[in-house]
Amino acid sequence: MAHDQIETMRKQIDEINLQILELINKRATLVQELGKEKEKQGSNRFDPERERQMLNLLVENNKGPFNDNAIRHLFKQIFQVSLDLQDDDKKKVLLVSRKKKAEDTVITVKGVEFGGKNPILIAGPCSVESYEQVRAVAENHAKRGLRTLRGGAYKPRTSPYDFQGLGEEGLQILKRIGDEFNLVTISEIVTPADLEMATKYIDVIQIGARNMQNFELLKAAGRVNKPILLKRGLSATIEEFIYAAEYILSEGNSQVMLCERGIRTYEKATRNTLDISAVPLLKQETHLPVFVDVTHSTGRRDLLLPCAKAGFAVGSDGIMVEVHPDPDVALSDAKQQLNIPQFNEFVDELLASGLYKDENVATRV
Ligand code: PEP
Ligand code: MN
């Protein structure tokens, strides 16, 4: 074949490619419009019967040289990418994503801004054990100008024989003390059935690491009108963590904060491995406030302060730490909770480092 004949045929093929390109994009535009119409009517976008009809029509009209299977395969690809196109907006740009919302989400509770200008210290006992025990911690908070108190009333424990928490009574204690000292209270809820009840007593609902992929709990949390603090699962990837938060937002609750609390690795020197890079990553990928739990990630008192500094240094919106009036007799996490003087020392050191700044928090004299 002469050289210019090949060139002419190549030109024709290019021409046809461009025609196909124009046609499949024309088709895609129509599919998108159809998708929007279907959404308005509330009908399902994927319709297998319709796909079957389209394939049959194509095969009936196929005159070759492609065989029927090749035609089915080719068109199935076209159908698939068109369907993906319909879902693209929802699938690719998550509600939690910075691409969806560029500015930081700030959650204001009782005048405390989570994700705002000042970083936050979330502190309190692992478990609510008694009114007196929580009150001792809260009184110290009030003296120092700290505003956020945590305490577990429903404790997801490894062993069923360990202290399981005081339940509703624990939430009532938090409510009483929160009112007494004007503190924002945070406590974990483990079952959808308790969410509504909990909203009467506490200001922020925590979803713990073990429940990060309890999808029914996440969906139910998306339907309550309370901020949610979502902790990263023990072995959850960042992607799974982000999707867990998306579950809550997708049900209508956009008041979500994330908490890195260490992940399970082969390392045994610490209770978990604090994934410090998760903080800037989550800050980049999402618009939600991000916290670092130094107690459960390290499980070691001697590492709380340096890891808290690291958290602030990489842009965390706050730190979670456990403090108990007498950790030796604590009913859970006795080993790593700080006592009140140690906690005050911890706060002083953080303030002195310049990494943690809050004009409302008193520097000790
Ligand atoms: C807690 O914060 O009380 C707790 C149990 O932590 P995690 O869910 O991260 O283990
Ligand atoms: Mn604990």
**Residue 345 reports pLDDT greater than 60:** yes
Task: Tell me which of 159, 207, 260, 261 to substitute to probe ligand 1's pocket, judged by most ligand atoms within 8 Å of the beta carbon.
Answer: 261
Q: Which residues surround ligand 2, an ion (CB under 5 A)?
A: 126, 333
pLDDT at residue number 38: 84
Task: Tell me which of 166, 296, 304 to substitute to probe ligand 1's pocket, judged by most ligand atoms within 8 Å of the beta carbon.
Answer: 296
All structural domains of the chain: 2-89 (1.20.59.10), 107-353 (3.20.20.70)
**Residue 37 reports pLDDT greater than 70:** yes
Q: For 179-184, what is the mean pLDDT?
A: 98
Q: For 171-186, what is the mean pLDDT?
A: 98
Give the number of the atom of ligand 1 that is nearest the alpha carbon of residue 188: 3
pLDDT at residue number 92: 76
Indicate the range of 33-37, 149-153, 154-158, 340-344 predicted with least confidence. Answer: 33-37
**115-165: pLDDT as tens digits:** 999 999 999 999 999 999 999 999 999 999 999 999 999 999 999 999 999
Q: Could you write out the three-class secondary structure of the chain?
A: CCHHHHHHHHHHHHHHHHHHHHHHHHHHHHHHHHHHHHHHHCCCCCCHHHHHHHHHHHHHCCCCCCCHHHHHHHHHHHHHHHHHHHHHHHHHCCCCECCCCCCCCCEEECCEEECCCCCEEEEECCECCCHHHHHHHHHHHHHHCCCEEECECCCCCCCCCCCCCCCHHHHHHHHHHHHHHCCEEEEECCCHHHHHHHCCCCCEEEECHHHCCCHHHHHHHCCCCCCEEEECCCCCCHHHHHHHHHHHHHCCCCCEEEEECCECCCCCCCCCECCCCHHHHHHHHECCCEEEEHHHHHCCHHHHHHHHHHHHHCCCCEEEEEECCCHHHCCCCCCCCECHHHHHHHHHHHHHHCCCCCCCCCCCC
pLDDT at residue number 46: 76
**Residue 365 reports pLDDT greater than 70:** no
Q: What is the pTM of this model?
A: 0.82
- The pLDDT-based confidence of 364 (bands split at 50, 70, 90) is confident
- The pLDDT-based confidence of 88 (bands split at 50, 70, 90) is low
Pick the residue whose CA is nearest to atom 10 on ligand 1: 209
